[in-house]
């Protein structure tokens, strides 16, 4: 009777067959038990090894050198390299307006770059994530293709665009917007163009991945409840992508603060930033310790600014979740 | 705002997406203050219809009227129509209070007015202990209540519900359905309930519309009309279970329905008159499984009788479902109430049974 009932419900499963399956299954599970525990230990060990390797790497090749750097900037040595005592004298030459202006300029450059990357990158990421459709991956791929080519090639490509008889000037002349070619190269403008061009993907990628996971129904729910586009952006979209925006801002802001290749090649000799000064001092004769001191000083400034940016985001997210 | 303002009229609404025609010239009137259910198989365009009413998608042609005002070109945030989304779409970064207060906060209403309204509503929804919880900390039923509260706080003219109970378990669903009916009774807002689940639609609806795969409305009526008098094979099969016989109708002094290899059955003349079916064409006769009486002994006083062999039995608690193999190899479905602890006869597999029904209890369908 029982066997018959079973057949009637599913129509296919027979009791005898079900029994057979249970027998087949029970044996391997028993033998597997021992293996599983050994495998588990191996797995956790392996994970530990894999996980700890980069940490050790970081300590040896980043934190220890950083400490050496800080120590060097504070140490006075004789000409033969012997330790004499602690000193702040390497910092003295830096306490003049020229260097402080350079640090200030670097802040300006990285902030403007970050800001431009954000206002260009967010709509771009939004477009790719929500309107990309089947082309989504292709568009993302196109964004990353420039990374495949050599960096110096990029810069030369931009030379052709920005030079006196280059693409941009010709275009503007043809459109009748200007009467004589403008001076683009070797200016803050060309530096900014190149900076934004290079750092844009670092902003787009984290925001894109956050928007891709974003449920578009939330936007519709917001419109449905009476919010217009601006209110929806402000109350739903930005709060929910805030952490990705922060990640993007850090990814652009930190490296662009120390960037020295782009200003060096695109900025001419009037555009001097932290990176250029450091390379000049460290490569120069006898100026090594001052260069190191400058590095320490600018790193300190960067850390302080990061602290404030982080605080700002904490304040933002608190404000967003605190009140609707 | 008068009651009349809450009716919705769709006139010749057409919509296609990616080259597929989703809604084909749909006209529909949803009366003011009714609980209206829109039932259809998955992918029939019922959600699209709801999104069009909400303003989340634009029409290809036709128009939508709320009361007597054309709202076809009004954007979603200007319509006094709110949606309870499938899977709720609660704002994950806001707590229960802020989720419910959202539409009021958007209008920059005074803080104490918002607080008064929200707390009152949350209390009515038994959510007042959860106001600081985030949506992710709530159970499915609680999330659903928050979604409804969020949608009705602004007193919309029409509330659209898109499969609101699909993610919940059966017991909870039954309970929430009753709550929804009570809520609608209290608010007198027009509710449009979209579902693919016939049980939900039959339970809640004052009136319901059935949509078919061609993007058309197949039938509109009360749940009873739809279930007892479906106007097509599609509706008969989609709403509830039914047994379909294909055969031909003869009009002698009494109408008779002949199924090849099976027999001839008498039909109530009023059914034929009502339907005005062409006797020359093949016709379909539909009988609901619960309208058939099953017994091992022949039963008197029934107009039609068939015999068959029991091929499967599924005991469901309140009823038992039988499948009986007929002479023409067709399987007939029969539902029998389990009325007694100790029934006089037990029907088992391979038993020969008599199946009887009254001639009034069938429906004749074209095609």
Which is nearest to A244 in space by CA: A215, A212, A279?
A212
> What is the pLDDT confidence band of residue A8, given thresholds at 50, 70 and 90?
very low
Task: Provide mean pLDDT across the span B100-117.
Answer: 93
ipTM for the predicted complex? 0.85
Number of neighbours of residue B35 by Cβ within 10 angstroms:
22
Please write the tens of the pLDDT for every residue from B222-248: 999 999 999 889 999 999 889 999 988
Task: Provide mean pLDDT across the span B95-99.
Answer: 93
Chain B residue numbers with beta carbons less than 8 Å from the beta carbon of A221 are: 83, 85, 89-91
Q: Give the chain B residue nearest A217 (alpha carbons).
A: B89
Sheet hosting strand B190-195, strand order edge to edge: B81-84, B158-162, B190-195, B35-39, B207-211, B217-221
d(CA A246, CA A198): 18
A109 lies in the same domain as A191: yes
Residue A28 falls inside a structural domain: no
d(CA A64, CA A61): 6
Task: Provide mean pLDDT across the span A246-263.
Answer: 88
Nearby residues of B166 by Cβ (< 8 Å), 6 or more positions away: B86, B195, B197
Distance from CA of B226 to the nearest CA of A (A): 29
A110 lies in the same domain as A173: yes
Supply the pLDDT for residue A1. Answer: 40
Supply the pLDDT for residue A36. Answer: 65
| Placement of tokens 């009140």 in the chain | A323
Supply the pLDDT for residue A167. Answer: 82
Average pLDDT of every residue of chain A: 80
Residue A311 falls inside a structural domain: yes
CA dihedral B269, B275, B276, B282 (to 10 degrees): -90
Residue A122 falls inside a structural domain: yes
A155 lies in the same domain as A257: yes
> What is the 3-state composition of chain B as percent helix, strand, coil, each rounded to the nearest 5?
30, 35, 35
If you write DSSP's letter for every residue of B292-357 in order, what string do you get? -EEESS--SS-SEEEEEEEEEEEE-SSEEEEEEEETTSPEEEEEEE---SS-SS---TT-EEEEEE
Residue A188 falls inside a structural domain: yes
CB contact under 8 A, A218 and B89: yes
A186 lies in the same domain as A248: yes
Please write the tens of the pLDDT for every residue from A142-166: 888 877 888 888 888 888 888 777 7
Is the per-residue pLDDT at A126 higher than 80?
A: yes
Number of neighbours of residue B236 by Cβ within 10 angstroms:
24
Is the per-residue pLDDT at B95 higher than 50?
A: yes
Total number of domains in chain A: 2
A195 lies in the same domain as A114: yes
Number of neighbours of residue A23 by Cβ within 10 angstroms:
8
Task: Provide mean pLDDT across the span A180-199.
Answer: 82
Lowest mean pLDDT among A94-103, B99-108, B221-230: A94-103
Distance from CA of B132 to the nearest CA of A (A): 10
Supply the pLDDT for residue B208. Answer: 94
Please name the residue ranges forming H helices in chain B: 46-54, 96-106, 111-124, 140-152, 170-187, 198-204, 223-228, 233-238, 269-275
> What is the 3-state composition of chain A as percent helix, strand, coil, each rounded to the nearest 5?
80, 0, 15
DSSP state of B291: G
Which is nearest to A221 in space by CA: B125, B17, B92, B16?
B92
d(CA B367, CA B364): 10
Task: Provide mean pLDDT across the span A39-52.
Answer: 76
Chain B residue numbers with beta carbons less than 8 Å from the beta carbon of A4 are: 349
3-state DSSP assignment of residue B60: coil
Number of neighbours of residue A302 by Cβ within 10 angstroms:
19
A150 lies in the same domain as A72: no
A70 lies in the same domain as A111: no
A178 lies in the same domain as A279: yes
| Of residues B293 and A48, more confidently modeled | B293
A231-244: burial string, b at 16+ Cβ within 10 Å, e else: bbbebbbebbbbeb
Determine if residue B9 is left, alpha or beta; phi over 0 gives left, psi from -120 to 50 gives alpha, anything else beta.
Answer: beta
Q: Are B86 and B193 in contact (CB under 8 A)?
A: no
Task: Provide mean pLDDT across the span B191-209.
Answer: 92
> What is the pLDDT confidence band of residue A29, given thresholds at 50, 70 and 90?
very low
Please write the tens of the pLDDT for every residue from B297-348: 988 888 899 999 999 999 989 999 999 999 888 999 999 998 888 888 889 9
Q: Give the chain A residue nearest B102 (alpha carbons).
A: A324
Taking chain A, what is the end-to-end CA distance rounded to the nearest angstrom?
Answer: 63
> What is the pLDDT confidence band of residue B1, given thresholds at 50, 70 and 90?
very low
A131 lies in the same domain as A202: yes
d(CA A87, CA A72): 10
d(CA B23, CA B51): 12
| Placement of tokens 């693919």 in the chain | B196
The CATH code of the domain that includes A170 is 1.10.3720.10
A152 lies in the same domain as A243: yes
If you write DSSP's letter for every residue of A174-203 in order, what string do you get? HHTS-SS----SSSHHHHHHHHHHHHHHHH
> What is the pLDDT confidence band of residue A321, given thresholds at 50, 70 and 90?
low
Domain that holds residue A81: 55-87
Task: Provide mean pLDDT across the span A227-247.
Answer: 91
d(CA A310, CA B70): 50
Distance from CA of B21 to the nearest CA of A (A): 20
The two structure tokens encoding residue A20: 């057979």
A101 lies in the same domain as A236: yes
Which is nearest to A324 in space by CA: B297, B299, B106?
B106
Residue A313 falls inside a structural domain: yes
Which is nearest to B306 in space by CA: B357, B250, B345, B253?
B357
3-state DSSP assignment of residue B249: strand
CB contact under 8 A, B313 and A223: no
Is the per-residue pLDDT at A176 higher than 50?
A: yes
Is the per-residue pLDDT at A16 higher than 50?
A: no
Residue A156 falls inside a structural domain: yes
d(CA A116, CA A310): 19
Which residue of B87, B103, B314 is in closest CB contact with A225?
A: B103
Residue A127 falls inside a structural domain: yes
Chain A residue numbers with beta carbons less than 8 Å from the beta carbon of B320 are: none
- Output the CA angle A207-A211-A212, nearest 5 degrees: 115
CB neighbour class for B320 (10 Å; exposed up to 12, middle 13-18, buried from 19)? middle
Number of neighbours of residue B276 by Cβ within 10 angstroms:
7
Which is nearest to A223 in space by CA: B110, B51, B337, B27?
B51
Pairing of strands B243-251, A75-77: unpaired
A181 lies in the same domain as A73: no
Distance from CA of B322 to the nearest CA of A (A): 10
pLDDT > 70: what percent of chain B? Answer: 96
d(CA B273, CA A82): 117
DSSP state of B89: -
Nearby residues of A164 by Cβ (< 8 Å), 6 or more positions away: A181, A183, A185
d(CA B27, CA B220): 11
At CB < 8 Å, which residues of chain A contact B?
4-5, 8-9, 11, 215, 217-218, 220-228, 231, 235-236, 239-240, 320-321, 323-324
CB contact under 8 A, A223 and B105: no
């Amino acid at each position: 009777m029982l066997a018959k009932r079973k057949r009637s419900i599913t129509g296919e499963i027979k009791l005898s067959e079900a029994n057979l399956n249970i027998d087949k299954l029970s044996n391997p599970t028993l033998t597997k038990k021992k293996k599983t525990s050994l495998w588990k230990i191996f797995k956790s060990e392996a994970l530990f090894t894999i996980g700890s390797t980069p940490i050790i790497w970081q300590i040896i090749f980043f934190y220890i050198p950083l400490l050496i750097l800080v120590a060097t900037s504070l140490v006075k040595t004789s000409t033969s390299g012997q330790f004499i005592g602690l000193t702040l004298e390497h910092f003295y030459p830096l306490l003049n307006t020229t260097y402080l202006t350079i640090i200030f300029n670097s802040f300006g450059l990285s902030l403007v770059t970050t800001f431009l990357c954000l206002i260009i990158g967010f709509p771009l990421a939004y477009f790719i994530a929500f309107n990309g459709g089947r082309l989504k991956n292709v568009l993302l791929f196109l964004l990353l293709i420039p990374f495949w080519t050599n960096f110096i090639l990029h810069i030369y490509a931009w030379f052709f665009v920005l030079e006196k008889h280059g693409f941009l000037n010709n275009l503007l002349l043809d459109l009748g917007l200007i009467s004589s070619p403008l001076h683009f190269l070797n200016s803050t403008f060309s530096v900014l163009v190149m900076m934004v061009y290079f750092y844009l993907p670092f902003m787009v990628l984290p925001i894109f991945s956050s928007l891709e996971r974003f449920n578009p129904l939330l936007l519709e729910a917001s419109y449905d409840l009476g919010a217009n586009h601006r209110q929806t952006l402000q109350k739903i979209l930005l709060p929910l992508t805030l952490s990705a925006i922060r990640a993007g801002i850090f990814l652009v802001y930190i490296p662009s603060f120390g960037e020295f290749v782009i200003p060096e090649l695109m900025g001419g000799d009037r555009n001097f930033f932290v990176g250029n000064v450091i390379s000049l001092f460290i490569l120069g004769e006898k100026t090594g310790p001052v260069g190191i001191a400058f590095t320490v000083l600018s790193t300190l400034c960067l850390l302080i600014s990061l602290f404030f940016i982080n605080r700002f985001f904490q304040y933002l997210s608190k404000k967003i979740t605190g009140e609707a | 705002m008068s009651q009349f303002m809450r009716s919705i009229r769709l006139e010749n609404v057409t919509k296609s997406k990616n080259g597929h025609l989703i809604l084909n010239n749909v006209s529909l009137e949803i009366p003011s203050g009714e609980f209206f259910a829109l039932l259809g198989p998955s992918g029939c365009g019922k959600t699209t219809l709801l999104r069009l009413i909400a303003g989340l998608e634009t029409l290809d042609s036709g128009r939508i009227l709320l009361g007597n005002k054309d709202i076809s070109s009004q954007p979603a945030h200007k319509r006094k129509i709110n949606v309870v989304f499938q899977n709720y779409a609660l704002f994950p970064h806001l707590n229960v209070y802020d989720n419910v207060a959202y539409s009021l906060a958007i209008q920059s209403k005074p803080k104490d007015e918002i607080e008064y309204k929200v707390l009152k509503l949350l209390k009515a929804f038994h959510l007042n202990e959860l106001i600081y919880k985030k949506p992710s900390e709530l159970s499915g039923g609680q999330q659903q209540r928050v979604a409804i509260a969020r949608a009705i706080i602004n007193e919309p003219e029409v509330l659209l519900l898109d499969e609101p109970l699909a993610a919940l378990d059966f017991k909870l669903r039954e309970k929430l359905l009753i709550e929804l009916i009570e809520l609608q009774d209290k608010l007198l807002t027009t509710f449009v309930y979209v579902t693919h689940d016939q049980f939900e639609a039959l339970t809640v609806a004052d009136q319901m519309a059935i949509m078919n795969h061609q993007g058309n409305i197949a039938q509109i009526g009360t749940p009873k009309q739809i279930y007892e008098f479906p106007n097509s094979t599609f509706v008969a099969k989609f709403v509830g279970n039914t047994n379909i016989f294909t055969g031909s109708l003869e009009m002698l002094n009494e109408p008779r329905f002949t199924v090849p290899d099976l027999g001839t059955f008498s039909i109530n003349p009023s059914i034929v008159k009502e339907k005005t079916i062409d006797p020359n064409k093949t016709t379909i006769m539909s009988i609901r499984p619960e309208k058939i009486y099953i017994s091992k002994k022949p039963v008197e006083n029934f107009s039609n009788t068939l015999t068959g062999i029991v091929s499967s039995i599924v005991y469901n608690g309140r009823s038992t479902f039988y499948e009986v193999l007929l002479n023409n190899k067709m399987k007939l479905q029969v539902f029998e109430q389990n009325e007694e602890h100790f029934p006089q006869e037990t029907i088992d597999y391979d038993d020969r049974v008599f199946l009887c029904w009254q001639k009034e209890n069938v429906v004749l369908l074209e095609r």
